[in-house]
Chains A and B, each alone.
Chain A
């Protein structure tokens, strides 16, 4: 490295790699991964979310959780923003997962048609 600017560039790259330890990410995504979720296909959904996040370098953490309590609507994905606002997406498959990543995480637009509110109605 030959300048402070180069060091700062390296810092910005490396910071992304440990961002999830600081809890500074813009979004926290949680996938229901209890037996009901896994049976309904939560694992491919998780994989799709991770693949998309990796490719687009979104600022988010992706985690699993146990049963969210709406087993008939699995696979379930919850998205929390920085202020703790929760959006619950239901009956998600890998394609829908990618769409959610692009719209919600990428552009900040909630994908209404997959939310629990719309589906139940």
Chain B
């Protein structure tokens, strides 16, 4: 019998910090202590707390080890696995707010306390490469239930009643989409899982596929039954090699058990899934472009209607849903629509997964009930901004979204509230910005991304976004004026109205949103040619306050381009503006606050 399971995260984050080597070493050490039959090492998906990776969870002890290194392995095996003494220094802990004592109980750790894991329920809990572990967690029971006890229409009705809305960004009601496709008569229909995940900073879908691929595959088969489709495609970017590999393994194992293919569970239902690799183009996440790409054509969008549910891949009725949308389906079938509606808000039931990133202590993946406030996510779960810096804004919705600021922190997160505040839910990227970030620069970053990713089919997006980037660059480099701001705004608004697809129609949002919320910062760039956050290098000057200078020469020693001169102990130091590359090394190294950044 195995008496202890050590689950090691093998998601992309922890894999890049050597979790594969840790697993190898663990197995070697176990043999040394002759524990290989008692202790099982399990490779799992993401635990969410990527900041503290590589992470390892020990059961039945329910202990999490964080920042585990290969060198810690012998101690973990000899002390904990052999003698039963957990290695305290590696244990995940939190400080209790009231007693100020350390707490080790996972459910009380603030990062996890407010989370509710539905889409991520098996991530970090099972081995995604072993279908038996998924089956142990009631895997494929939902498929069994729909095939033996429910009509197709009953499945659609249940999903409609649950109020599930698409997690890929649009928030369209999933049940209604399925109904459209089910109502079509056609010899062939298709189910597509959109795993393109092109938003910079988003890794929700990747983590679900890496941690629990069967949950998505099972849901696709359920969708196939509901709309009358026999074929499914997972469209996933080739840049997600671990997720692709696990999907392949999952499909193979499910086929072998007869859970995919012909006559599934003896019911006569047939369903197959194929993987289609994308080359990692943002526009291919847009559903009509995605269909082109699956058909082997260049990924460019088409006007809608016709909607894919009527005329999709190969001209046949097709539903396209996001990975996370699918990850909720089996739970709705098993637990019922009412259970799902008991979480979240009235118009946005259920949970949402967010990828927390940027200036935040706990970078990682979190799943919260809709209706949780931004404050809870950023401060309680995320731990706030590091180094005691001031929170400035949070960017949601990626290159299609906008910013939310201090005043919005108490707003419950749901589709409609975020839209009303001028941002959007998007697919779940949440990037925190602090006082050291320049909002014009942030807006420029997204516009640069859009220019790279615009497919070029329509003029507003192809040329308009390029012009917007030029205007933003002018602001950042000191060539801006009030006219630049007017032009940005009017150009942004006309692109929104005239672009062909969602990419162009939403591309100006980050700019327009930051212009509205951080007008002063834009004015400082346009009129005074200054960057208050000290980011836009061309707008910065460094000088040394002669009254504060102690003639110590530390600044000069640290200057990489020898732009600072003076004599130790004799003369005050000065910076040659012509040579200065504005790296800020003098500012960080001066002990007397004598360096002035203006």
Q: Tell me if A11 and B3 are in contact (CB < 8 A).
A: no
Bound: A33/B134 CA distance, A: 34
Bound: A51/B37 CA distance, A: 11
A118 interface residue (CB < 8 Å to B): no
Q: Which residues of B contact A10 (CB under 8 A)?
A: 132, 135, 257
Bound: A7/B138 CA distance, A: 9
Q: Tell me if B136 and A50 are in contact (CB < 8 A).
A: no
Contact of B84 among A23, A25, A33, A61 (CB under 8 A): A33
Bound: A65/B84 CA distance, A: 5
Bound: A111/B141 CA distance, A: 41
Encoded as 1 (CB less than 8 Å from any A CB) or 0, chain B from 138 to 154 comes to 11110010011000000
Bound: A3/B265 CA distance, A: 4
Bound: A21/B124 CA distance, A: 11
A20 interface residue (CB < 8 Å to B): yes
Query: What range describes how many residues of B lie at the interface?
Result: 35 or more
Q: Tell me if B257 and A1 are in contact (CB < 8 A).
A: yes
Q: Which residues of B contact A6 (CB under 8 A)?
A: 265
Residue among A34, A61, A66 with the highest chain B CB neighbour number at 10 A = A61
A20, closest chain B residue (CB)? B60
A62, closest chain B residue (CB)? B3
Q: A20-B3, A20-B60, A28-B60 are in contact. Are A38 and B83 (CB under 8 A)?
A: yes
Encoded as 1 (CB less than 8 Å from any A CB) or 0, chain B from 43 to 61 comes to 0000000000000000111
Which secondary structure dominates where chain B touches chain A? loop
B456 interface residue (CB < 8 Å to A): no
Q: Tell me if A15 and B148 are in contact (CB < 8 A).
A: no
Q: Tell me if A64 and B1 are in contact (CB < 8 A).
A: no
A17 interface residue (CB < 8 Å to B): yes
Q: Tell me if B84 and A64 are in contact (CB < 8 A).
A: yes
Bound: A28/B61 CA distance, A: 11
Q: Tell me if B62 and A7 are in contact (CB < 8 A).
A: no
Cβ distance A5 to chain B, nearest Cβ, rounded Å:
9
Interface residues of B in 116-145 (CB under 8 A from A): 125-126, 132-133, 135-141, 144
Q: Tell me if A4 and B265 are in contact (CB < 8 A).
A: yes
Q: Which residues of B contact A70 (CB under 8 A)?
A: none
Q: Which residues of B contact A4 (CB under 8 A)?
A: 144, 147-148, 265
Cβ distance B58 to chain A, nearest Cβ, rounded Å:
10
B5 interface residue (CB < 8 Å to A): yes
Cβ distance A66 to chain B, nearest Cβ, rounded Å:
5
Bound: A20/B40 CA distance, A: 11
Q: A7-B144, A18-B136, A21-B125 are in contact. Are A53 and B1 (CB under 8 A)?
A: yes
Encoded as 1 (CB less than 8 Å from any B CB) or 0, chain A from 32 to 47 comes to 0110001000000000
Q: Tell me if A33 and B83 are in contact (CB < 8 A).
A: yes
Interface residues of B in 392-419 (CB under 8 A from A): none
B295 interface residue (CB < 8 Å to A): no
Q: Which residues of A contact B3 (CB under 8 A)?
A: 20, 50, 61-63
Q: Which residues of A contact B125 (CB under 8 A)?
A: 21
Q: Tell me if A64 and B83 are in contact (CB < 8 A).
A: yes
Q: Which residues of B contact A28 (CB under 8 A)?
A: 60
Bound: A60/B254 CA distance, A: 30
B101 interface residue (CB < 8 Å to A): no
Q: Tell me if A54 and B1 are in contact (CB < 8 A).
A: yes
Q: Tell me if B133 and A66 are in contact (CB < 8 A).
A: no
Bound: A8/B258 CA distance, A: 14
B259 interface residue (CB < 8 Å to A): yes
Cβ distance B334 to chain A, nearest Cβ, rounded Å:
12
A83 interface residue (CB < 8 Å to B): no
A50, closest chain B residue (CB)? B1
Contact of B83 among A21, A54, A66 (CB under 8 A): A66
Q: Which residues of B contact A53 (CB under 8 A)?
A: 1
Q: A18-B133, A64-B84 are in contact. Are A3 and B60 (CB under 8 A)?
A: no
Q: Tell me if B60 and A23 are in contact (CB < 8 A).
A: yes
Q: Tell me if A63 and B61 are in contact (CB < 8 A).
A: yes
Q: Which residues of B contact A25 (CB under 8 A)?
A: 60
A12, closest chain B residue (CB)? B136
Q: Which residues of A contact B126 (CB under 8 A)?
A: 18
A2 interface residue (CB < 8 Å to B): yes
Cβ distance B218 to chain A, nearest Cβ, rounded Å:
11
A32, closest chain B residue (CB)? B84
Give me the 6 closest cross-chain CB pairs, A-B, nearest first.
A64-B84, A14-B136, A54-B1, A4-B144, A61-B60, A62-B3
30 intermolecular pairs with C-beta atoms under 8 Å apart: A1-B265, A2-B263, A3-B266, A4-B148, A4-B265, A7-B135, A8-B144, A10-B132, A10-B135, A11-B141, A15-B136, A17-B136, A18-B136, A18-B137, A20-B4, A20-B5, A21-B59, A21-B125, A30-B84, A33-B82, A33-B83, A50-B3, A61-B3, A63-B3, A63-B61, A63-B84, A65-B84, A65-B85, A66-B83, A66-B84
Interface residues, chain B, with chain A CB atoms under 8 Å away: 1-5, 7, 38, 59-62, 82-85, 125-126, 132-133, 135-141, 144, 147-148, 257-259, 263, 265-266
Contacts A20-B4, A53-B1 known; list 16 others, CB within 8 Å.
A1-B259, A4-B144, A10-B257, A11-B135, A11-B136, A11-B141, A17-B136, A18-B136, A18-B137, A20-B2, A20-B60, A21-B7, A23-B62, A61-B3, A63-B3, A65-B85
Interface residues, chain A, with chain B CB atoms under 8 Å away: 1-4, 6-8, 10-11, 14-15, 17-18, 20-21, 23, 25, 28, 30-31, 33-34, 38, 50-51, 53-54, 61-66
